[in-house]
Amino acid sequence: MQASAPQVVVTGLGTVNALGSSVAEFAAALRAGTSAIGPVTLFDTKGYRARIAAQVHDDDAPATLPRALRRRSSRSDVFALRATAEALAESGITDAVAPDRIGVVLGGTTGGMLRAEECLRARIEGRSARYGADPIIGAPISVSADVVADVFDLRGPRLALSTACSSSGNALGTALDWLRLGRVDAVVTGGTESLCRMTFAGFNALHALSLEPCRPFDRRRAGLSLGEGAAILVVESATHAARRGARAHAALVGWGNSADAHHLTAPHPQGTGAILAMTRALANAGLQPADIDYINAHGTGTPLNDAVEAAAIGIVFGEAPHLAVSSTKGAVGHTLGAAGAIEALATILALRDGFVPPTVNLEEPESEWALDLVPGGSRDATLRYALSNSYGFGGNNTSVVLGHA
């Protein structure tokens, strides 16, 4: 990080996920070590190997949403709108900044696919005489960012990113760059994702779904558990936040990303991309490995991914007895394009509230990994800096550094 670059802080938080319909609910469940993974009721899972996921059951659209937009909005859009409303209300940014100085950058992978699937099935099964326009118009990944900007009158730069499971990690990094460059005064950033049949079928075909709630970093891990939801952060410069008297939950300190250029679905076996993303994030933040107290790992619960990430962390951080490493996917599932944002939110809560989230469902850590993987339950801790990793299909790797405010 250049010495002249402004410090960036997080002044608004919002979420909807399977663990909670607000930041307060999410924080309490995260600290308690709760798992939200259970039977899928959103659609029929007959024929799939696994029939569980971390599904959001409180999925009502905001009551203030206009009828036309309510009819058109997808499940992903609704999650994003609810999380954004919470984050903006807390931050108060829209009362202090001109609309054209507030940017929007969101990550995601499936957009409105669930509604598009339902539209297609209704037509094929003879339940509808035509294809409805709204599900098709609302299907693209870009629509959630459009809807958020339109509903909340945010007229600054607008960007939708889709880099598989690192999508919203890249969104946070892009927001940081925008603020450092002075392009905006504040950014609404994060990610949103909905479960859908296409995703379930794809991971089922890859034999990547666990038949029981996922066990990140466990010797018996057998696959991932899908999830859904959204997390939104309002970020601005520390100077700007102080000037308007806003509370800073945490600092967004740096980020790094990389590409494996190796395989469409498998990580590089030596973890070269993961190593590069972490080292770039540290350099961008102006920190050394010893400065990091906690890593929120990508930790999907698949045999190869966890092994590669654990080895990469060992290479970057060496012997670091003070370093805690945990995955929150055993609690909230793998939310794909929203994972980077939801897990960054978990990391912010850890920094702000002074605890390390547990690796839920971890019972037998692999003996060859010399890492503190936080089994059993959360623990109190004073954290200075933390790293949140997000790795996606195609070798898309992102690491974000967050700090205590």
Q: What is the pLDDT of residues 125-156, one digit of tens each?
A: 777 766 677 777 778 889 999 999 999 999 99
Does residue 97 lie in a domain region?
yes
Planar angle of CA 378, 169, 78, nearest 5 degrees: 90
Does residue 1 lie in a domain region?
no
| Co-location of 18 and 105 in the same domain | yes
Q: Which one of the listed residues 165, 240, 249, 268 is annotated catalytic?
A: 165
What was the pLDDT predicted at 6?
A: 85
| Co-location of 206 and 264 in the same domain | no
Q: Which one of the listed residues 249, 268, 334, 404 is annotated catalytic?
A: 334
Q: Which residues, given as ranges, of the chain have pLDDT below 70?
A: 1-4, 123, 129-131
CA distance 331 to 206: 22
Place of tokens 């539209």: 119
Please identify, among 243, 264, 285, the residue that sits at the C-terminal boundary of a domain.
243
CATH number of the structural domain spanning residue 391: 3.40.47.10
298 is catalytic: yes
Does residue 47 lie in a domain region?
yes
| Co-location of 19 and 118 in the same domain | yes
Determine the structural domain holding residue 212 and report its residue range: 8-243
Does residue 48 lie in a domain region?
yes
Does residue 2 lie in a domain region?
no
Please identify, among 243, 274, 295, the residue that sits at the C-terminal boundary of a domain.
243
pTM score, whole prediction = 0.95
| Co-location of 227 and 322 in the same domain | no
| Co-location of 264 and 117 in the same domain | no
pLDDT by residue (tens digit) across 168-224? 999 999 999 999 999 999 999 999 999 999 999 999 999 999 999 999 999 999 999
Does residue 3 lie in a domain region?
no
Give the DSSP H/E element, type plus range, for residue 115. helix 113-124
| Co-location of 232 and 300 in the same domain | no
| Co-location of 259 and 219 in the same domain | no
Place of tokens 């989230």: 357
What six digits make up the tokens of 401?
């550094």
Please identify, among 243, 266, 301, the residue that sits at the C-terminal boundary of a domain.
243
Place of tokens 């659209």: 61
| Co-location of 226 and 300 in the same domain | no
Q: Among residues 151, 188, 170, 184, which one has the least CA distance to residue 13? A: 188
Does residue 152 lie in a domain region?
yes
Does residue 297 lie in a domain region?
yes
196 is catalytic: no
**How far apart are the two ends of the chain, measured CA to CA in Å?**
17
What was the pLDDT predicted at 10?
A: 99
Q: Which one of the listed residues 240, 249, 268, 298 is annotated catalytic?
A: 298
Domain count for the chain, please give it: 2
Long-range contacts of 208-212 (CB under 8 A, 24+ apart): 208/302, 209/48, 209/49, 209/50, 210/50, 210/301, 211/49, 211/50, 211/52, 212/52
| Co-location of 262 and 313 in the same domain | yes
| Co-location of 238 and 259 in the same domain | no
| Co-location of 74 and 178 in the same domain | yes
Residues 6+ apart with CB under 8 A from 126: none
| Co-location of 218 and 263 in the same domain | no
